[in-house]
Structure 1
């Protein structure tokens, strides 16, 4: 092995192996390694960050509840702080911009290239060993316990063993491979729409903001009833485009373009996000319906349709949206934006009622506050809001597969009802889950626990010491 964890010998033993280097997996690996566990982080991409980097997702949602209280901290905030220092996040408000849209209190724009470097550096500094460009081929089990992963890369197929694994694949690939039960989509097995994000350059955001202020009814402003302000009141308070970093609306323009066959029929509104790069925005306006994120051929077809949609969406913005008339397609995501995939059957389940009520529990290991956001297979987008501007707790048992040992889940595959998942799948809560999963995995490796045996009180105490909010 070379210095710094860049190369590794295969067929060796670890304390913790984290499968999937999206933001949940990155935080889990850092947390496990800092806790003293020999940790490997592996991913199919050549860099870290998952949907935030390869998917051009654009921002973390949301570090705050609607009251403005920060409910995600610890390693996730450390990542934001490191991005700020390299110019990859706004210095204002510790990186978290107030969100006039009102589906979340704050939006945290992050530059994907800076995030690639920051996550890499933090992992290596913690002692995490990285193995990229590598696919999971399956699990090795003894009874109901996962003992090893079969992996494939340019070196061929090999096996990595560990005392415990963190499934941060986003698709519960380890749990499914080991025979664990899961749910997929709605009662008919259909999942939320998939998006393919892109970035546009040469956008005049000042011109666009003037249009918002003159036409507030065309936009979502102050969506959560807790805000208690009219669209006009909110629009009058917008002084700079940074005051409205996550824009959604243009209802009339979408209808007009659809009537002329100039915009796809799968959305009733469009979304774009500001970035730290002047004149560059992230578009979230494609909508790919009827695809299965666990099927390779289906994902291929989704990617092909998505790239077709990207240019029609750009033409829509160029022709219909003020400030975009001189814009151009800067780039498109290398990774499909999958909102919903397998959800494990766990020892606990995060329910819709728990989220809406802002329920807290004695076994919570992270918090969530984003609106319950479900993009139905029909293309209709439905939102539910958390009562009284509060946040809800995410119990540890939602990360523990009911029928599989040796695995802790981190990310959107947590055991959850569908609408609850529409909130918990967002970046801030999955990073909170990641920190908890990494610390729990290290405890398992040190003390010989199975994940379901981890003393949750001890876990919560360690997380608090690390600055996490539980």
Structure 2
């Protein structure tokens, strides 16, 4: 689909891509964003086996992924020369986006069924409603969409650590189970929680 400057999907376009190492990389459908200067931001390369808490390892893997991104651009140029015939890789993101790593041991853990069913809570501090979309976290895993929830509340208790006083945690690592985080991780909700 496409709307305004954004596009998403294009699964058929990426079908047939062979990563340099299938245990480390996969290419999923493209998320695209056209910029004012005519360039295109592309979010599509999945990296497997990351250790989200090791900054040196993350930087090493980001640099390796830049080489894989070059392969992706070459593949897209060949697969659809009309759209990508003159494409070139200008740069890669300065940091990797870690979608799933650790979650806080909070006073409360928001569960997937509460998100999907649109549960509200007396101590809700923000509302979420983004779809529960799962990406592949392991080679060969199929991405999936569990559904789009009714608006659900995020309890204040999901931000409060069980064992540390005077601290709130606002991020995708808050007290969410991994599937609830498919929805709760998105920036607009995190901004509201902040």
Q: With structure 2 as the length reference, what TM-score do the two structures score? A: 0.86
Cα gap change, 1:386 to 1:250, in 2 (>3 Å): closer
Structure 1 position 244, deviation (Å): 7.3
Over residues 335-386 of structure 1, what are the superposed CA-to-partner deviations in whole Å (9 max), with x where a residue is unaligned? 1111122210111111000011011111111111111223233243222113
Matching residue of 1:246: 7
Structure 1 position 307, deviation (Å): 1.1
Over residues 100-141 of structure 1, what are the superposed CA-to-partner deviations in whole Å (9 max), with x where a residue is unaligned? 4xxxxxxxxxxxxxxxxxxxxxxxxxxxxxxxxxxxxxxxxx
Could you tell me how far apart the structure 2 residues matched to 1:299 and 1:274 are?
24
Matching residue of 2:76: 317
- Give the aligned CA root-mean-square deviation in angstroms: 2.2
Matching residue of 2:46: 287
Could you tell me how far apart the structure 2 residues matched to 1:423 and 1:275 are?
24
Could you tell me how far apart the structure 2 residues matched to 1:430 and 1:356 are?
18
Could you tell me how far apart the structure 1 residues matched to 2:122 and 2:56 are?
43
Structure 1 residue runs of 5 or longer lacking an equivalent are 1-99, 101-240, 435-470
Over residues 21-40 of structure 1, what are the superposed CA-to-partner deviations in whole Å (9 max), with x where a residue is unaligned? xxxxxxxxxxxxxxxxxxxx
Structure 1 position 305, deviation (Å): 2.1
Alignment of 1:68-83 (within 5 A): none
Matching residue of 1:334: 94
Correspondence 1:420 to 2:180: yes
Could you tell me how far apart the structure 1 residues matched to 2:64 and 2:135 are?
18
Matching residue of 1:362: 122
Superposed structure 1 runs of 4+ greater than 6 Å apart: none
Query: Does the CA contact (< 8 Å) of 2:26 and 2:47 recur in 1?
Result: no
Could you tell me how far apart the structure 1 residues matched to 2:7 and 2:16 are?
23
Could you tell me how far apart the structure 2 residues matched to 1:323 and 1:286 are?
19
Query: Does the CA contact (< 8 Å) of 1:371 and 1:386 recur in 2?
Result: yes
Higher helix share: 1
Correspondence 1:271 to 2:21: no
Cα gap change, 1:320 to 1:378, in 2 (>3 Å): same
Over residues 196-224 of structure 1, what are the superposed CA-to-partner deviations in whole Å (9 max), with x where a residue is unaligned? xxxxxxxxxxxxxxxxxxxxxxxxxxxxx
Structure 1 position 423, deviation (Å): 1.2
Could you tell me how far apart the structure 2 residues matched to 1:277 and 1:377 are?
33
Query: Does the CA contact (< 8 Å) of 1:271 and 1:285 recur in 2?
Result: yes
Point out the structure with max Rg over C-alpha.
1
Alignment of 1:303-314 (within 5 A): 303-314=62-73
Q: Secondary structure at the match of 2:26?
A: coil
